[in-house]
Amino acid sequence: MVVLSQPALDHFSLPKACKPTSLLCGIPVIDLADPEAKNLIVKACEEYGFFKVVNHGVPLEFMTRLEAEAVKFFSLPQSAKDNVGPPDPFGYGSKRIGPNGDVGWIEYLLLNTNSQISSHKHLAIFQEYSQNFRSAVDEYVLAVKKMAYQVLELMADGLRIEPRNVLSRLLKDDKSDSCFRLNHYPPCPDSQALNGRNLVGFGEHTDPQIISVLRSNNTSGLQILLKDGTWASVPSDHTSFFLNVGDALQVMTNGRFKSVKHRVFADTNKSRISMIYFGGPPLSEKIAPLPKLVEKEEESLYKEFTWCEYKKSAYKSRLADYRLGHFEKT
């Protein structure tokens, strides 16, 4: 990633005068071994669209091994990284996020987790790079997927909907359109130039999928938007996972769960490395409120659409757009 000269930092930074930010100390923590987990997950999704998972069963060495591989990858010469870019959307990207002009203080690798629909580019990324990298991604993603299935099944129990795999089956499907992202937010090159402002790593957005599972190193930067319109910083925890509700799950719960807006700021001293699994349904899947979650009198808040239609529309949008707007009934 090329370090920019001082004036260019203005493209990435936010003015000082922002809404107040607090430290999210009361973030819901779900212990997967707790008999109350199913109800606490539902409560967290209603209140925040976001929660932390502990006792998750994913070995810490899977996380640290992949983190080390990611650090190795991002330390490669720029030309080697550019060989696996630009993103189409899969592949290596630097500063540009998506196809519509969004930028951030970030470099990343976006991968398709489904070998059945992976592009040549994706295969090339893995093969050209290294076997160690590939196996670290594979073992990590497999373990995280299993945990995500468990969470979605607990969620179905908490919502009292049957069968309990009504949500998890969408991620388990061979054709599930899920992806995986490794992000590197380099430390801010010249913190004086920012003059107290924040350097935007990944601008505010919601995730389009059903559920996202994030793990980061011990560098802070993630913030979520609370119901009262204020931003809260999420204290980092490299041993836990942070899960958030995506747009598709908001629709499937007819708005009962909110897909949470979030953003990331770069740290002034440390690199932030994050790894996120985005669990999405098959492209042909109809995304609509689950019948049991639509009260008798209440109608679906959304028009019917497939995941493929939603994704296409998302890729025409800017990061901060309210993407569900096009799909709401008027």
Q: How far is CA 49 from CA 2, 139, 305, in A?
A: 35, 27, 22
DSSP 8-class letter at 29: E
* 223 close to 206: Cβ distance less than 8 angstroms: no
| Region binding ligand GA4 by CB under 6 A among candidate stretches 157-165, 201-209, 223-231, 299-307 | 201-209
DSSP 8-class letter at 144: H
Catalytic residue among 164, 272, 318, 323: 272
Structure token digits, residue 45: 């999704």
Q: Among residues 107, 55, 54, 111, which one has the least CA distance to residue 88? A: 111
Cβ neighbours of 60 (radius 10 Å): 9
Helix (H, G, I), strand (E, B) or coil at 254: coil
For residue 100, the minimal CB distance to ligand GA4 (Å) is: 6
Cβ distance to ligand GA4 smaller for residue 42 or 200: 200
Residues that contact ligand GA4, how many (by CB under 6 A): 16
* 293 close to 253: Cβ distance less than 8 angstroms: yes
Cβ distance to ligand GA4 smaller for residue 101 or 291: 101
Partners of 243 in beta bridges: 51, 213
For residue 292, the minimal CB distance to ligand GA4 (Å) is: 28
For residue 298, the minimal CB distance to ligand GA4 (Å) is: 29
Cβ distance to ligand GA4 smaller for residue 153 or 177: 177
Q: Among residues 217, 149, 209, which one has the least CA distance to residue 180? A: 209
Is residue 207 close enough to count as binding ligand GA4 by CB under 6 A? yes
| Region binding ligand GA4 by CB under 6 A among candidate stretches 14-22, 117-125, 202-210, 294-302 | 202-210
Single-letter amino acid code for the residue at 206: T
Is residue 278 close enough to count as binding ligand GA4 by CB under 6 A? yes
- Is the sign of the CA dihedral 133, 134, 135, 140 positive or negative? positive
Is residue 315 close enough to count as binding ligand GA4 by CB under 6 A? yes
Backbone angles phi, psi at 152, to 5 degrees: -65, -30
d(CA 87, CA 269): 28
How would you classify residue 214: left for phi > 0, otherwise alpha for psi between -120 and 50, otherwise beta? beta
- Is the sign of the CA dihedral 186, 191, 193, 194 positive or negative? positive
Distance of CA 225 to the CA centre of its chain: 14
Which of 205, 258, 261, 263 is close enough to bind ligand GA4 by CB under 6 A? Answer: 205
Is 272 part of the annotated catalytic residue set?
yes
Is residue 322 close enough to count as binding ligand GA4 by CB under 6 A? no
Site string for ligand GA4, 98-137 (x = CB under 6 A): x-x-x-------x---------------------------
For residue 80, the minimal CB distance to ligand GA4 (Å) is: 21
With 0-12 CB in 10 A as exposed, 13-18 as middle and 19+ as buried, what is 18? exposed
| Region binding ligand GA4 by CB under 6 A among candidate stretches 59-67, 95-103, 232-240, 292-300 | 95-103
For residue 149, the minimal CB distance to ligand GA4 (Å) is: 20
For residue 311, the minimal CB distance to ligand GA4 (Å) is: 7
- Per CB under 6 A, which of residues 151..180 are in contact with ligand GA4? 179
Site string for ligand GA4, 38-77 (x = CB under 6 A): ----------------------------------------
- Point out the residues that are catalytic: 272
> Site residues (CB under 6 A) for ligand GA4?
89, 97-98, 100, 102, 110, 179, 181, 205, 207-208, 278, 314-315, 317, 319
